[in-house]
Amino acid sequence: MGRQKGRQPKLFYCDVNIEERVPKMHILHKINKVIDFDFIYQEVGKRYGTNGNVSVPPPVILMLLLVLYNVRSERELEETLPMRLDWLWFLGLDIDSRIPDHSVLSKARARWGVEVFRSLFERAVGQCVKEGLVDGKKLFVDASLIEADASENSVIKSGSLKKYLRKGYRKLEKRLDDLEVEKKGKANKEYISTTDPDASVTRHGKGVCAQCHLRAQCTRAKDGRTLKRHIRQNDLERMLELAGSPLAKQDLKTRQHLSERSFAQSTRYGYKRARWRNLWRMQIQDYLIAALQNIQTLVRETERRAANAVRVAIDKTTVVRARMLSVLGQISLIIFWEINIIDDSELAFAN
């Protein structure tokens, strides 16, 4: 009977091969086959200088951002990475490699900008088009409200900013000056989130309910009643009317297993809530999630087609073998018949 020896850490690991410990059917193996992340060198080359410390290779940063959607935060990613041999292999690292600091991800987003991540998304779509997964005959568009990475407690009146410390006021004032997003509504002109100025504030006053001529039929409450009405309700009602046509109903069935399924999958990667603050970072998040979904679709369809090709080859081989057996059987019958004739003729001659 074997017994466990006392736990004592080794100083050296000579026979450890990460490649052998990551199964060939692992999803990261499949992604590595269909996507070449080295394109990022050309995309971000001009954004790096020639002096100073050597940075983390851009492909590693990009792959880190894709792996990030398996954990809750960048700090957790840094802590989890040394324990995951499959992630280390995917990033081209070894068990004794230095783990990149979590801050390289935020620095890369700021340095690269939105366009680099848009390029990743477009490349993934381009490969799907090349593989015949996109025909472009009909486009389905969907939209969703994304919960900002800011609490309601962070919303204050713009005119009351001077109550804050001078340093914090200057910092927030600069955010307001840099704000390029046009937000609609009276509430957005009066209120702002101190954590994410790009986040919109929604509010509807009681006066709207008081002036409605249908109030008596709607509610008896003093404070009125809250109703949700789209800002383009008339257009929405027109589109709902068109949705009743036979062609639209057929499109809805197609949309159910395209847009709805894609949206449901994206929620697993945190699509419903912003990971970072400001709209440009939210755009990066959207491009990363969409690229990740498209890469998974590409891997899945490539694998399915390969399996079908193997199945067809096996079927053809089976048919060929059956034909060969049939031909061999016919040849055997002919030979047997000829032998019988010879035997009969020899018997007749002997008689």
| Dihedral sign from CA coordinates of 235, 240, 244, 248 | positive
What is the reported pLDDT for 351?
Answer: 45
Do residue 64 and residue 166 come from a single domain?
Answer: no
What is the reported pLDDT for 194?
Answer: 64
Do residue 163 and residue 267 come from a single domain?
Answer: yes
Alpha-carbon distance of 162 to 75, in angstroms, equals 34
249 part of a folded domain: yes
What is the reported pLDDT for 347?
Answer: 43
Last residue of one domain, picked from the residues 256, 277, 298:
277
The domain of 191 spans 152-277
Do residue 102 and residue 167 come from a single domain?
Answer: no
Structure tokens at 225: 């009643």
Of 41, 48, 109, nearest to 74 by C-alpha is 109
Alpha-carbon distance of 93 to 83, in angstroms, equals 12
Mind listing the pLDDT tens digit of every residue in the chain (351 residues)? 667 677 777 777 777 788 888 888 888 998 888 888 999 998 898 888 888 778 899 999 999 998 888 888 899 999 999 999 999 999 999 888 899 999 999 999 999 999 999 999 999 988 888 888 887 777 777 778 888 887 777 766 655 555 554 455 555 555 555 555 566 666 666 666 666 666 666 655 566 677 777 778 888 777 777 766 777 888 888 888 888 888 888 888 888 777 777 888 888 888 888 888 888 898 999 999 999 989 988 888 888 877 777 777 776 666 556 566 565 555 555 555 455 555 555 444 444
Do residue 69 and residue 181 come from a single domain?
Answer: no
Do residue 162 and residue 107 come from a single domain?
Answer: no
Alpha-carbon distance of 31 to 174, in angstroms, equals 42
Task: Tell whether pTM > 0.95.
Answer: no
91 part of a folded domain: yes
Alpha-carbon distance of 217 to 165, in angstroms, equals 50
Q: Which of helix, strand or coil describes residue 25?
A: coil
Last residue of one domain, picked from the residues 248, 277, 306:
277
240 part of a folded domain: yes
201 part of a folded domain: yes
Q: Quick check: 274 and 147 in contact, CB under 8 A?
A: yes
Do residue 171 and residue 267 come from a single domain?
Answer: yes
Q: How far is CA 103 from the centre of its chain?
A: 22
Q: Quick check: 75 and 102 in contact, CB under 8 A?
A: yes
Number of structural domains in the chain: 2
What is the reported pLDDT for 251?
Answer: 84
Do residue 65 and residue 157 come from a single domain?
Answer: no
What is the reported pLDDT for 181?
Answer: 55
Q: What is the DSSP string of 196-242?
A: -TTS------THHHHH-TTHHHH---TT-------TTHHHHHHHHHH
CA distances from 30 to 24, 35, 77, 299 (A): 8, 9, 22, 6
Alpha-carbon distance of 89 to 24, in angstroms, equals 12
What is the reported pLDDT for 81?
Answer: 92
Do residue 167 and residue 106 come from a single domain?
Answer: no
Last residue of one domain, picked from the residues 223, 248, 277:
277
Do residue 82 and residue 176 come from a single domain?
Answer: no
Do residue 185 and residue 79 come from a single domain?
Answer: no
Do residue 77 and residue 156 come from a single domain?
Answer: no
What is the reported pLDDT for 230?
Answer: 72
What is the reported pLDDT for 84?
Answer: 92
What is the reported pLDDT for 113?
Answer: 92
What is the reported pLDDT for 168?
Answer: 54
241 part of a folded domain: yes
What is the reported pLDDT for 246?
Answer: 87
127 part of a folded domain: no
120 part of a folded domain: no
188 part of a folded domain: yes
- Residue 297, Cβ neighbours under 10 Å: how many? 17
Do residue 93 and residue 156 come from a single domain?
Answer: no
**Residue 38 burial (10 A CB sphere; 0-12, 13-18, 19+):** exposed
